[in-house]
């Protein structure tokens, strides 16, 4: 377990993942009935953008750094607000000092009776996450394998909610593990919303993943991919993939409004703009 999200926090992939996660949490919060948020690979919760890891890669500058520099169109402010309010505070130069990971974002958007379950296998990271979130009776942090935690937690008592699966992709079998976990999870809780993030680096692995999922006849899903300039001299992560199983009905429409703005804003202004795709799968 060498992966440290602090090197990547606030990059373009985090922005699209966290922004769309915030839209799903806002949607769940519109009905009075409580919901549950489950994060299988939670990380440390908040990331210091001035710290050695973030400074070494500077990835956040092409992500949240760019987003904060470009005033959003008035028509998108309400959609961006719940996410942007979790970022910050800003330092004297206007740059954010830290960046919220998925647990901190969710903690902000949970209501009094909503609950969250967070799994983080790395002992130090789990301890940091606990101290970042503080005492909060709505949440539980477990230092265990996220897939095992998920298997034991479904269906949640509330029968409403969202699961974020955001693994580090250090292991070669991460995609097959994801497929197995999703098949089992959807058998136990077919109506839950599942958000899965994956890197777009190896096209064959991504295609095999989506093919395996379509063979599994899972509930309806929405696939939202964001691609950076593929001619870049140092492409690194070529794109960010998000799969949302049982997406809220408003998600595709909201993503269709937000993604063009993200594409024109994120990344290196000297390079070709990002592009995005969205596919709905009905069965
Ligand atoms: C991509 S980061 C998570 C980022 C976080 N979801 C966010 O959006 O802020 C992946 C995290 O998973 C943790 N991890 C690695 N293997 C794990 C496992 N089997 N179960 C739970 N956590 C794991 C790593 O220590 C790392 O903190």
Residue closest via CA to ligand 1's atom 16 equals 121
Mean pLDDT score, 145-165:
98
Residue closest via CA to ligand 1's atom 26 equals 43
Mean pLDDT score, 174-187:
98
pLDDT at 43 over 60: yes
Ligand 1 center to 112 CA (angstroms) = 26
Give me the pLDDT at residue 4, please: 92
DSSP string, 206-253: HHHHHHHHHHTTPSPEEEEEEE--TT-SS-SS-EEEEEEES--TTHHH
Handedness of CA 252, 153, 82, 12 (dihedral sign): negative
Where residue 192 falls among pLDDT bands split at 50, 70, 90? very high
To test the ligand 1 pocket, which listed residue (47, 120, 141, 195) has its Cβ within 8 A of the most ligand atoms? 120
Residues 197-214: b if buried by 16+ CB within 10 A, e if exposed: bbbbeeeebbeebbebbe
Give the dihedral of Cα atoms 5, 98, 45, 63; nearest 10 deg: -50
Ligand 1 neighbours by CB, cut-off 6 Å: 1, 3, 5, 39, 41-43, 101-102, 119-122, 125, 145-146, 166, 168
Give me the pLDDT at residue 268, please: 78
Name the phi and psi angles at 117, rounded to 5.
-125, 125
- Residue of 93, 166, 225, 234 with catalytic role: 166
Burial zone of 140 (CB within 10 Å; 0-12 exposed, 13-18 middle, 19+ buried): middle
Ligand 1 center to 43 CA (angstroms) = 5
To test the ligand 1 pocket, which listed residue (14, 16, 43) has its Cβ within 8 A of the most ligand atoms? 43
The string of pLDDT tens digits covering residues 213-248 is 999 989 999 999 999 877 665 567 889 999 999 999
d(CA 20, CA 257) in angstroms, rounded, equals: 11
Mean pLDDT score, 22-45:
98
Give me the pLDDT at residue 129, please: 98
Where residue 144 falls among pLDDT bands split at 50, 70, 90? very high
Residue boundaries of the structural domains of the chain = 5-281
Q: Give the containing element (helix H, strand E) for 278.
A: strand 275-281
Q: What is the CA radius of gyration of the chain?
A: 18
Cβ contact 182:245 at 8 Å = yes
d(CA 104, CA 176) in angstroms, rounded, equals: 29
Mean pLDDT score, 13-39:
98
Mean pLDDT score, 193-208:
95
Where residue 56 falls among pLDDT bands split at 50, 70, 90? very high
Q: Give the containing element (helix H, strand E) for 84.
A: helix 77-84
Class of domain 5-281: alpha beta
Percent of the chain with pLDDT over 90: 85
Residue closest via CA to ligand 1's atom 3 equals 43
Q: Could you identify the atom of ligand 1 that is nearest to the CA of residue 39?
A: 6
Mean pLDDT score, 4-27:
97
Give me the pLDDT at residue 244, please: 98
Ligand 1 center to 248 CA (angstroms) = 25
Supply the DSSP symbol for 90: B
To test the ligand 1 pocket, which listed residue (6, 42, 181) has its Cβ within 8 A of the most ligand atoms? 42
Q: Could you identify the atom of ligand 1 that is nearest to the CA of residue 104?
A: 9
pLDDT mean across residues, the chain: 94
Supply the DSSP symbol for 70: S
The string of pLDDT tens digits covering residues 93-140 is 777 889 999 999 999 999 999 999 999 999 999 999 999 999 999 999
At residue 117's C-alpha, the angle toward residues 220 and 32, to 5°, is 65
pLDDT at 92 over 80: no
Tell me, yes or no, if 282 is annotated catalytic.
no
Ligand 1 center to 168 CA (angstroms) = 6
How many other CB atoms are there within 10 angstroms of residue 88's CB atom? Answer: 16
Give me the pLDDT at residue 272, please: 85
Percent of the chain with pLDDT over 70: 98
CA of residue 230 relative to chain centroid, distance: 22
Higher pLDDT, 183 or 238: 183
């Amino acid at each position: 377990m060498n992966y440290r999200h602090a090197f990547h926090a606030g990059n373009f992939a985090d922005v699209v993942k966290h922004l769309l996660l915030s839209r799903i949490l806002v949607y769940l919060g519109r009905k009075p009935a409580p919901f549950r948020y489950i994060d299988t690979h939670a990380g440390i919760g908040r990331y210091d953008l001035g710290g050695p890891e973030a400074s070494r890669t500077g990835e956040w500058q092409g992500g949240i750094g760019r987003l904060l520099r470009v005033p959003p169109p008035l028509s998108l402010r309400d959609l961006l607000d719940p996410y942007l309010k979790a970022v910050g505070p800003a330092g004297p130069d206007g740059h954010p000092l830290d960046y919220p990971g998925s647990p901190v974002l969710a903690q902000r958007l949970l209501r009094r009776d909503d609950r969250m379950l967070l799994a983080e296998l790395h002992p130090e990271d789990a301890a940091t996450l606990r101290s970042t979130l503080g005492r909060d009776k709505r949440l539980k942090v477990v230092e265990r394998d996220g897939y095992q935690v998920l298997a034991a937690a479904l269906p949640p008592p509330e029968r409403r909610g969202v699961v974020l699966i955001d693994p580090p992709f250090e292991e070669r079998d991460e995609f097959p593990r994801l497929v197995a976990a999703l098949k089992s999870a959807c058998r136990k809780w077919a109506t839950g919303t599942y958000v899965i993030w994956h890197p777009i680096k190896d096209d064959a692995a991504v295609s095999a993943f989506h093919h395996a999922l379509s063979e599994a006849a899972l509930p309806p899903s929405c696939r939202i991919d964001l691609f950076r300039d593929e001619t870049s001299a140092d492409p690194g992560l070529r794109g960010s993939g998000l799969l949302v199983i049982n997406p809220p009905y408003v998600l595709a429409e909201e993503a269709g409004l937000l993604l063009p703005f993200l594409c024109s804003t994120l990344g290196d202004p000297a390079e070709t703009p990002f592009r995005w795709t969205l596919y709905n799968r009905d069965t």
